């Protein structure tokens, strides 16, 4: 079955204003909700928003993620399918 962008849903998103790093919870179709780290969003000189891979995380990224990790964990836990 080919990838269908209409089935790929972002359920929750956090964005670090300082570094542009985006953390999100996504689900494809009726599959398991999963955490995605990246992309990194930035504003180009012409004022347009652009994205690139998250790549390696800086200490600023890590400290921000540490601050929100409990909220992220709680949201992902709510969406987890009981086993």
Per residue of the chain (83 residues), what is the pLDDT tens digit?
788 989 999 999 999 999 999 999 999 999 999 999 999 998 888 989 899 999 999 999 999 999 999 999 999 999 987 76
DSSP 81: P
User: pLDDT at position 83, please?
Assistant: 66
8/79 Cα distance (integer angstroms)? 15
Judging by beta carbons within 10 Å of its beta carbon (0-12, 13-18, 19+), is residue 64 exposed, middle or buried? Answer: buried
**Could you identify the residue written with the tokens 């995380």?**
57
């Amino acid at each position: 079955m080919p990838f269908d962008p209409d089935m790929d849903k972002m359920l929750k998103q956090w964005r670090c204003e300082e570094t542009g790093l985006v953390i999100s919870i996504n689900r494809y179709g009726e599959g398991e909700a999963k955490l995605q780290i990246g992309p990194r969003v930035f504003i180009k000189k012409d004022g347009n928003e652009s994205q690139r891979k998250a790549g390696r995380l800086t200490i600023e990224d890590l400290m921000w993620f540490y601050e929100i990790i409990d909220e992220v964990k709680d949201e992902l836990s709510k969406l987890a399918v009981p086993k």
